Amino acid sequence: MRTYEKVLLLVSLLTALEVVWSMGEPGEVMVPGSPSNVSKNDKGLAKAVLVATYFFNNQSNDAYLFRTSEVEKAQRQIVKGIRYILEVRISRTVCLKRLGRDLLDCELQPEGRLHQMFRCHFVVLSLPWLDMMTTTSIRCQQ
Ligand SMILES: *[C@@H]1O[C@H](CO)[C@@H](O)[C@H](O)[C@H]1NC(C)=O
Ligand SMILES: *[C@@H]1O[C@H](CO)[C@@H](O)[C@H](O)[C@H]1NC(C)=O
């Protein structure tokens, strides 16, 4: 690799890291590599949960939309971006999918025949410098 290529690579790596590092809460040090707990009111977490929930709905062939009713565990790991590792409960709402309602306006099904809840493990990768978040893994059980 020529010197200018090395410099370019270094500059782009530093730019990427800088963006990642500045994504944390003020005063928080984010260590690359090891997963750490995310505060429940973290903005990035709320977005990651929503992205994974939309992905779940897109993959499910249920007639109703589901929404995340509880985040049981949330961790964040710095990898190629920020990886959110989530354990959530996701529950059936009263909104029929085909009506295309906004998920955030949908109430959960009351206890009864249509009530259903899954526990899911979601992994969402955030690439802040591309303004992109995608679900990379989803595993659910009843
Ligand atoms: C749902 O999945 C299909 C096929 O994978 C894709 O074309 C579509 O854009 C997805 N919709 C949403 C809302 O993610
Ligand atoms: C991280 O969160 C989980 C569940 O929310 C908790 O059990 C665990 O003790 C927390 N770990 C740290 C290091 O705070």
Q: Tell me what percent of the residues of the chain surpass a pLDDT of 90.
A: 70
Distance 66 CA to ligand 1 centre (A): 16
At 78 the pLDDT is 92
CB-ligand 2 contact for 36 (6 Å cutoff) = no
Distance 54 CA to ligand 1 centre (A): 9
Q: Where are the domains of the chain?
A: 3-141
- pLDDT digit string (tens) for 47-78? 999 999 999 999 999 999 999 999 999 999 99
Ligand nearest to the CA of 55: 1
- HEC string for the chain: CCHHHHHHHHHHHHHHHHHHHCCCCCCCCCCECCCEECCCCCHHHHHHHHHHHHHHHHHCCCCEEEEEEEEEEEEEEECCCEEEEEEEEEEEEEEEHHHCCCHHHCCECCCCCCCCEEEEEEEEEEEHHHCEEEEEEEEEEC
Ligand nearest to the CA of 36: 2
Distance 139 CA to ligand 2 centre (A): 21
| 3 pLDDT more than 90 | no
| 7 pLDDT more than 50 | no
At 12 the pLDDT is 47
At 108 the pLDDT is 97
Of 51-55, 90-94, 101-105, least confident by mean pLDDT is: 101-105
Fold of the domain spanning 3-141: Nuclear Transport Factor 2; Chain: A, (3.10.450)
Which residues form ligand 1's pocket by a CB distance below 6 Å? 54, 58
CB-ligand 2 contact for 37 (6 Å cutoff) = yes
Ligand nearest to the CA of 85: 2
| 15 pLDDT more than 90 | no
The mean pLDDT of the chain is 85
| 79 pLDDT more than 80 | yes
Distance 58 CA to ligand 1 centre (A): 6
